[in-house]
Amino acid sequence: MKTVLIANRGEIACRVIRSCQALGLRTVAVHSDPDAQSRHVEIADQRVSLGGSSAAESYLRADAVLEAARSSGADAIHPGYGFLSENEAFAAAVEAAGLVWVGPSPASIADMGDKERARLLARAAGVPVLPGSSRFRPGEFNGLVPAALEIGFPLLVKAAAGGGGIGMRRVDRPEDLQAAVEATQGMAARAFGDGTIYLERYIERARHVEVQVFGFGDGRAIHVHERDCSIQRRFQKIIEESPAPGLSPDTLRAMYDSAVALCRQERYRGAGTVEFVLDADTHEFFFLEMNTRIQVEHPVSEMITGLDLVGMQLQLASGQVPQAREQDDVHARGHAIECRLYAERPAKGFLPSTGLVTRFDLPLTDDTLRIDSGVRAGDRISHFYDPMIAKFIAHGANRECAIARLIDAIDAVRIEGIETNLGFLRRTLDHPAFRNGQVSTGFVDLYKPDLIA
């Protein structure tokens, strides 16, 4: 394995390129027309245009990405997150073309991508699972109401083929169910090419806690500790941290054991994340899904362990020995928190803010602060892609130190030309409830008057 094509854009493409460079691997960037001058294109060794503007016209075109790999001489493809990263047909096509797929097997992607099958496999591995329904394809409504009544209200309508909270909707009343299902099916079809949905019980006071895992494809697997991702807006994460505040060693150990058991049963290969919903009152936890890719928030785990998870993906795919091979190789220290800087308008329902970034000054980084970004001054934020601009990850000896470092970093940012959630992030980090570790998925709604100026 000598040349890796990164089938993605923005900060994750830049992130993968850094690990490739550290391992002496050549890199190929692909890009749409609007991304022709983007930073990930600039820092790669080679570039290939996919054409088009929207994701459907560019990054989601499996045929164009494979042709880019062939024409550039790449012998491996790293998908990053989103786009084609959890598309088993694409992974299988990459391997059929004689290329190295830097990710789990197509079978694992299929198993975990089918949310109904994933829940059955989780149960078989002894993992507690939330009550949920079977799948409903676009236009299918027979049995929908009985399934919902069996689960109980409130419930969530979720995309069966995707993750990241995209399209997810809470439903409180039977009369609102069909409209929510139709809306989620439509959004899922646009985002993932599959509009299939399912229903799942909603926990009123919930926390979102996930376990970073790494499998070796032979039945062995390790965990890289947990991340609390409870601070969300519109079911999408905005602040993540590790260790998860206020959880007992027994609860964490049970979550680690569950996540690793599922990976071992699946003979999982590479980096992945097992996501749980945790009842904030009882600390009972239930399997939500497994993301068969690197996560947006993976730097949190890297900051507390010193591991390079993307590097480990590349090492395993190329037949090398990964940086961590046994559970005893993973050592956590201190506390890390990540926040996501978005081009958006918090006061207007977090609607995206598009336009030219005329100024973007960032603080200096060191061993206590990491900034991952694919945006510079002079770049344009378009409506074609996710509006995330950067990720700030701070590390400290304890949670208080990490919060203070992250607030200092936010205060040092100067960005002009677009609106962002910088003020919202700062007020969240400095809120008494957050500082006290009183986090839940309802945090933003509960304290919205305090967080949005």
Catalytic positions = 293
SS3 361: strand
Cα separation, 237 vs 231, whole angstroms: 6
Helix (H) or strand (E) holding 48: strand 46-49
Cite the DSSP H helix spans in 73-215.
88-96, 106-113, 115-124, 144-151, 177-192
C-beta separation of 205 from 440 below 8 A = yes
Q: Could you tell me the CA-to-CA distances from 279 to 6, 199, 205, 252 in Å, in that order?
A: 38, 18, 6, 14
- What angle (nearest 5°) sits at the alpha carbon of residue 36, between those of residues 35 and 38? 60
Cα separation, 342 vs 422, whole angstroms: 8
C-beta separation of 17 from 47 below 8 A = no
Cα separation, 185 vs 189, whole angstroms: 6
C-beta separation of 119 from 161 below 8 A = no
The DSSP symbol for 328 reads G
Which residues, other chains included, contact 221 with Cβ-Cβ below 8 Å and sequence gap of 6+?
Answer: 213, 214, 215, 260, 263, 264, 268
Cα separation, 134 vs 448, whole angstroms: 35
Closest CA to 229 of 253, 217, 212, 216: 212
| The dihedral formed by the CA atoms of 33, 48, 14 and 36, expressed in degrees to the nearest 10 | -20
Q: Could you tell me the CA-to-CA distances from 385 to 29, 82, 159 in Å, in that order?
A: 17, 11, 19
Closest CA to 17 of 317, 8, 362: 8
CA 444 to chain centre: 19
CA 166 to chain centre: 11
SS3 384: coil
C-beta separation of 287 from 276 below 8 A = yes
SS3 371: strand
